[in-house]
Amino acid sequence: MAHIKLHIPGPVEVSEKTFKALCTPMIGHRGQGFKDLYAKMQPQLQTLLATKQLVYLSTSSAWGVMEGAVRNLVQKKVLNCMCGAFSDKWFDVSKKCGKQAEALQVEWGSPIRAEAIDKKLATGEFDAITLIHNETSTGTMSPLSEIAALKKKYPDVMFIVDAVSSLTALPIKFDELGIDVLLAGTQKAFALPPGLAVFVCSPAALAKAATAKDRGYYFDFVEFEKNAKDSMTPSTPSIPHIYALSSKLDDFFAEGLEARYARHKKTNQMTCDWAAKHGFNLFPEPGFESVTLTCVSNGARPGGRTVDVAKLQKLVKDQGFLIDGGYGKIKGTTFRLSNMGDETEATMNQLYAALDKAMLSL
């Protein structure tokens, strides 16, 4: 069957080189070969996340670490900042972990603003917040530096940040931000197959995790730190993914991080231009658009063009491209086009050509 190229916001297209790396012959996860592999990647990961802390590898999707962060770091009450499907779900997950949780809900498409968090934290009720930097369901990016600046005012509150669909597409400087946990799945802007997450913890987060009674084992942050010091993971990891990550990190540094960030900015602008050219509005509040995907309004916002999204998807799929028809309660009233991972101006132009052709039949 012919491959339909992925332009959904994750999983994204995986390169031949990465697939080859996945097929590297197996090694033992307690042997020197594995330690050398992890040790080779550690400085690359630290540069990518701009941190002196050890970066951990979790054989799970992002949710594993998202749930783990709640179990390791929430003792009093967590403030879940909610602005879309994934950030809203973190509230449910916190409650399912048996934690006291409160929702800070804004309208889908709006970002989370520091003032709103400040007001809640001023009550003194919370010892942790969860925040999704780039809410993939709405294509909206919250102002991370502005929010992280609050950490100085509330040093005892754990700032847990999901950068699942933004990490590697723009600079996120963990140590400078002063936040406590930064995590990402690797099937989005990293352009790896699903199944691996990376994360980093502040010394304060590790100290707090050590005092958490019911943090479990698989996502015990203290175990991750202890093992990472020896270039290992707590349990048997997906070694193929780790080979693939190593290959991908080499690609990032061969391209140059700044060039990678500029490429995402440019291809994202091109997608916004494509939407404007066809008379569509964008879904996110202006000024807070994601750089890795474009959430196009298809009636969700007043004015602007609307089309039969299912038909658009089919017409584009017939030309070999998969686009997303909107997520959760904005399915159909939005659609999403991804430019994350390895996409270039040339590959994005192929997508726009297919979309242009489809639009002629709508």
Q: Which is nearer to ligand PLP, 140 or 202 (CB)?
A: 140
| Gap between the Cα atoms of 118 and 292, Å rounded | 28
Q: At what angle do helices 32-49 and 239-255 cross, to 10 degrees?
A: 40
Alpha carbons within 13 angstroms on the beta-carbon side of residue 7 total 29
| Shortest separation between residue 340's beta carbon and ligand PLP, angstroms | 11
Which part of the chain contacts ligand PLP (CB under 6 A), choosing from 56-64, 271-279, 309-317, 337-345? 56-64
| Residue 69 in the binding site for ligand PLP (CB under 6 A) | no
CB atoms within 10 A of CB 92: 12
Rounded (5°) CA angle 160-189-237: 70
| Residue 88 in the binding site for ligand PLP (CB under 6 A) | no
Contact 197, 185 (CB under 8 A): yes
Which part of the chain contacts ligand PLP (CB under 6 A), choosing from 60-68, 233-241, 257-265, 297-305? 60-68
| Residue 261 in the binding site for ligand PLP (CB under 6 A) | no
Q: Binding mask 10-49 vs ligand PLP (x if CB under 6 A, - otherwise)?
A: x---------------------------------------
Residue from the set 58, 72, 94, 136 that interacts with ligand PLP by CB under 6 A: 136
| Shortest separation between residue 294's beta carbon and ligand PLP, angstroms | 14
Instruction: State how beta strands 334-338 and 293-297 pair.
Output: antiparallel
Q: Binding mask 139-178 vs ligand PLP (x if CB under 6 A, - otherwise)?
A: -----------------------x-xx-------------
| Residue 341 in the binding site for ligand PLP (CB under 6 A) | no
Give residues 180-199 in contact with ligand PLP (rule: CB under 6 A): 185
Strand partners, 53: none
Containing 182, the helix (H) or strand (E) segment is: strand 181-185
Q: Which residue, chain included where needed, has tokens 């086009």?
A: 337
Which residues have a Cβ under 8 Å from the Cβ of 151 and sit 6 or more positions away?
A: 157, 159, 177, 178, 179, 180
Residues of the shown chain interacting with ligand PLP in the complex, contacts defined by CB under 6 A: 10, 61-63, 86, 132, 136, 162, 164-165, 185
